[in-house]
Structures are given as C-alpha cells and as structure tokens.
Structure 1
C-alpha cells in the first residue's frame, strides 16, 4: 500500500513524521510520503496517485476537499482522518475495498489511539463480501451488487458460492474455516465457470469475483535450504494473513535457477517457480523497487525479489509486500489484476 500523509498544522506535521517512521517498518506498506498545507490542490493530486491518504486535520476541511473527487468504492483510495493530537483515527472513505478500516486499526494501534469504524458489517461483527474479496485479493466485476450481499449477511441469510469443479480453491476453504461464525455460506460446484472466477448468489443477485495473480519473489544467498527460505515465506504469509494456497507463482532471477532450496520449496508448496532472465531484471524499472547496492555489485541488478515478482505478475502489477530480509533470504510479493 502506498500512503500519503497530509497535515495543516505544525503539530500535525510533527505527527506525520512520527507516523511515517512507524509505518515504514511495516513490510505491507510499500512507501509513505508526507505533504503539508495547500490541502485543496494537493488532495487532487494525491487522490489518484496513492492507495491511501491519511489526513491529520479537522474532518470538515478533509470532507470538503475530497467531496468533488469521490467516484466509486472500487477506485477511490482509502481515506483516514486523524486529529492533530493523535487521539482518534477515523475510517472516512473506502473502508472495505480500499482497505481504510484495516489501516485505521493498524494506525490506531501504532499511535495508541481510538479507531473509529462505522461500516455496518464491522460494527455488527459480520464479514462483508467486499471484505472477503479484499482479504483474498479478488477483484469484483460488478461492485453495484455488493450492497445486496452485505444486507443478506447482516440478516444472517445464506449466500451461495459457485466454484469450478476442477479449480483449486483451498485458499477460500482456509479462509472460511477462520471465519465460520461471521458468514453463512453453502458451496456448489460446476464446470460452467472459469477456474479463475468465483460466482456468488443471493436470491436473484449474482456477484462475479476474479482471482488476481499473486507472485512471491525470492532472493537468497547461495546454498540456502528450503527450510531457510520457508522462515521468510511463512512470516510473509502471516503478515498478509493469507494461505500459501493463494500464491500463483514463485519467482526469482535466472541466476538462481539451480538453487536447490528454491526448487525444493516449489515442490513442497506445489507452486510453479519462474526464473526471470537477468537482462530483463537489468532493464526493468519501477518506482516501487527498493534497490540494493550489494545485490547490484554481485549480480548487476538492483533488485531480484521485487523485480522478479513484478515482472512475473505481468502488466499493471504492483507490490503488496516490499523486499524484506530474513537471514540471507529476501521476500517480496506482487499482484496483478486479470482482465
């Protein structure tokens, strides 16, 4: 998640730097930038460039600034509002699909503040269908239908998940096992839908969700074993709260194609590994990559784990877990939406 923090007062500005320092330690936060004053004009730029905006200011100033920009819960960024004393963190916009609710809880914990979340499913401790989609990295093709499903979930009514009988949906079953009390579902199988889709039904309503591609990029020192790499893999999956079954590919640089630890890991997880040509890694550029001078001096490329993940994920991919070291192993995750 790329975050912009914007403030209007000196006190808020100081809080911005404190919060940035805390967020930058989180591997799920790809970057954090700070902006100050000129709210109306700056918000217009931030709204389309960042996944989340944290506004440290009075709510009236924030609401008037973002009101003309709001378009859709699918495309609008997460918006958080914090008072300049850092006492309250308010989820203001895009609570579910944008991730504002979860970011609110995270920031409130970091600041020892009170999180304020008002979405109906959350306050009633129910699992919104859009929360499920966000948690599992599923894109919703017809988001206008979300309201009908969340109303059904709030009323305790059953919804039906339709899956392709030849697809692998273990990640979905893992998720349901953790959330059995929050949603009433039944599961049916068919051969009439694509394996990368999940269809959900409630009465005469249908929601179509597409499974996005997730690639785990791996860099490691020579001779690292499968178990050495698994330490980083498990920590990463735990940080993102996703099952290993949700990964689409593993990826690394071609120079690692004979690294037995990576090959053994691919076999154990039953996830294919793709090795990216070193020339592609050298030519690849992205403002999300955190280059390493050590890696560049050793292999001639600034990034292995992040770049190989982004390249393998394909067009319009973005990082969801920045390069993180684990005792000689680096892990990064990239995601790309399917058409």
Structure 2
C-alpha cells in the first residue's frame, strides 16, 4: 500500500521517520513547514489544503496528531467507503494506532495493525465484525477477488452476522477450497450451500450471499449480496469516435442476453487499430478493467482456429474479417464463446468466458 504520513510536531516527525524506515511499501512524509529534509520528505503550510490534494492520491493516510484534528480535516473529502483511502491516526508518542476510515475495503484496519506492530503500539479497531470476530463480506470478496453487488446491501448483510442472524452462502466453490481460502466463513450462524439451492433455500435465512457471475431470475428476498467473479471477456468492435456511454450500454445489453452480470467483466478486447480509441479506453476505466488489443495476425489466427464467420466488408476495411468474436476468445485464452456477435448502433459485441472455474 502506498501511504502518506503527516505530522505536525517534532515528536511526530521522529515517529514518521521510524515508520518510513520500517514500512515495506512506499511512504511519503509530509511535515509542517521547516521540518523536512529531502527525498520523500515534503513540507506544507495548510493541513486542509494538503489533505485535499492527498486524499485521492494515496491508498492510505497516516496522521500523527489528535484524532479530533483528523476527523475535522478529512470530513469534507469523504465520499464513499468503496472509494475513500484508509485513514489511521497515531498519537505522537506512538502508543495507539487507530483505524478511523475505510477499515475494511480501504484496508485501514490492517494498516493500523501493521503500523502498530512496527512501532510497538496498540492497534485500535472498532468495526463490529472485527470486535466480535465475525467475517466481513467485503473482506471475503476482496480475498477471493470478487466484486460486491449491490453495494448498498453490504451493511445489512454484515449486520445480520453481528446481530446473531442466520446467513446462507450459496456457491459452487468446493467447500474444502473455500475453507482453505476463507476459514472465517465456517462459523456459527453461517451455512454454506450449493448455488443451485438458492431459489429454494434462501428464505430459510435472514440474508444470503451468492457467489456467481449469473443474473439469477429470482426476487432478492431475503436481502441478498452477490459476489461477482471476474469471468467475462468482452470483445468489442466500434466505429471511430464512439462514446464510452454507448459502448457501456452495448456491453450491458450483451451481458443481459448472455444471462451474466456486467460486474463480472474481466477485460475488454478489440483490434490493434483501436489501441487509442478514446471511448473504448474510457469504457475500460469506468468498468475498472483493462482494454486488450490484438494484432491482425492474432485475430486472423483465431478466426481460422475457431471457424468464426467473417465479414467481407470488414476484411476490406482493416484486413481481417472479424473483430469482436476473435478478440473475446483471444482474451479468454483457453475459454469459450458464450455470446456470438451482437450488433448495436455502430458497435459489435461478443462475450467469452475463461475455460476453467472462477476459483481455479
């Protein structure tokens, strides 16, 4: 984790340098004007202006100062737990390492513990699931590499756990492997069931967690949280100048046709000619996935290998007879096509999946 350590006093400066000398990741130090040396040490005059500049630039912010100061200075910049950095407060004596913001998703709890171990401090963690020794579903998702959907159900799901409710987890992941990777799920009040039993068994629980890339045609009652594995490789062909919004809409429609969740998209794939296509690159950023491009030779090879249909018009224009289907299959490696070419306004989309189970 890339972190910034901010200090106001000479004692704080000394503690910040101790942390910097031991922390395994990148550390930048920010001291009140007049205290810095060189290298990764910087000075500042206004703490609020500094925090405004740093809040989105670092994965973690460590403040060596009173917790009240930290609360006041970060409050204007807090947006959402899925976006905010980890925030930890230390007293300048190095006695306590307090997780203040983004304890789970942002990693503040782990950062507070890590820094406490480095300097001999007491970690102060107040999130209910940690205090009670219960699993937090956002941490489970992060550990397994899954996306959380819908995010607004997360608080309710964790509330069921800390209040002694019954939670059903529906997944096709083999139980021994799930236990190996997430032993915390095998606890009182949690039952692990096959994914196929979600339609009939979900009502026996106060809440459900479902691990799948599929869009299930069932009412989400009781409240359900879907953890989406990154399994979909979406091949895209588009006209020059196509907007990111139009591409995203086409991808969403194609996912709906295939019965898969857009949040399970792993890559966007296209032809080499689109390596600088602004709308496509922006769509990848919005989906938080890479955009892979493939040269003419690779696309032609995939067309021949998989026996894909070609368009003479496309071949005349770019020298290869298809884009979205071969690009999707190339991105998937040993995968398979689950949705052939779909045409939208100036856009073509195809979807392939990995050739193995998502947990492999």
TM-score w.r.t. length of structure 2: 0.52
Is 2:64 the counterpart of 1:52?
no
Q: Residue 33 and residue 212 in structure 1: after superposition, are their counterparts in 2 closer, same or farther (change >3 A)?
A: farther
2:131 corresponds, among 123, 126, 138, to 123
Q: Which residue of 2 aligns with 1:185?
A: 191
Q: CA deviation at 1:79?
A: 0.3
1:107 aligned to which of 115, 121, 128: 115
1:49 and 1:81 mapped to 2: Cα distance?
Answer: 18
- What CA distance in whole angstroms lies between the structure 2 residues aligned with 1:171 and 1:197? 21
Counterpart position of 1:142: 150
For the residues of structure 2 that align with 1:96 and 1:204, how far apart are their CA atoms? 24
CA distance in 2, matches of 1:129, 1:44: 30
Cα pair 1:158 1:202 within 8 Å, conserved: no
When residues 87 and 145 of structure 1 are mapped into structure 2, their CA distance, relative to the original with a 3 A threshold, is same
Query: Residue 204 of structure 1: CA displacement?
Result: 2.1
Q: Distance in 2 between matches of 1:186 and 1:5?
A: 42
Which is bigger in relative contact order (C-alpha 8 A, separation at least 6)? 1
User: What is the rounded CA distance, in whole Å, between the counterparts of 1:198 and 1:110 in structure 2?
Assistant: 45
- What's the Cα RMSD here? 3.3
In the TM superposition, residue 13 of structure 1 has moved relative to its aligned partner by 1.2
Alignment check: 8 A CA contact 2:81 2:106 kept: yes
Equivalence for 2:294: none
Deviations 1:142-195 (A, max 9, x none): 2211111111111332222233x5x77875342343552366132222399995
Aligned length: 210
**Could you tell me how far apart the structure 2 residues matched to 1:175 and 1:110 are?**
26
Which residue is equivalent to 1:23? 23
Deviation at 1:35, TM superposition (A): 1.2
Equivalent runs, 1:145-184 vs 2, <5 Å? 145-163=153-171, 165=172, 171-177=177-183, 179-181=185-187, 184=190
- Please tell me whether the aligned partners of residues 97 and 133 of structure 1 are also in contact (alpha carbons under 8 angstroms): no
- For the pair shown, the structure with the greater C-alpha radius of gyration is 2
Secondary structure at the aligned position of 1:72 is classed as coil
Q: Mean Cα displacement is larger for which, 181-190 or 79-88? A: 181-190
Residue 97 of structure 1 is matched in structure 2 by 105
What CA deviation, in whole Å up to 9, does each residue of 1:264-294 have, x standing for no partner? xxxxxxxxxxxxxxxxxxxxxxxxxxxxxxx
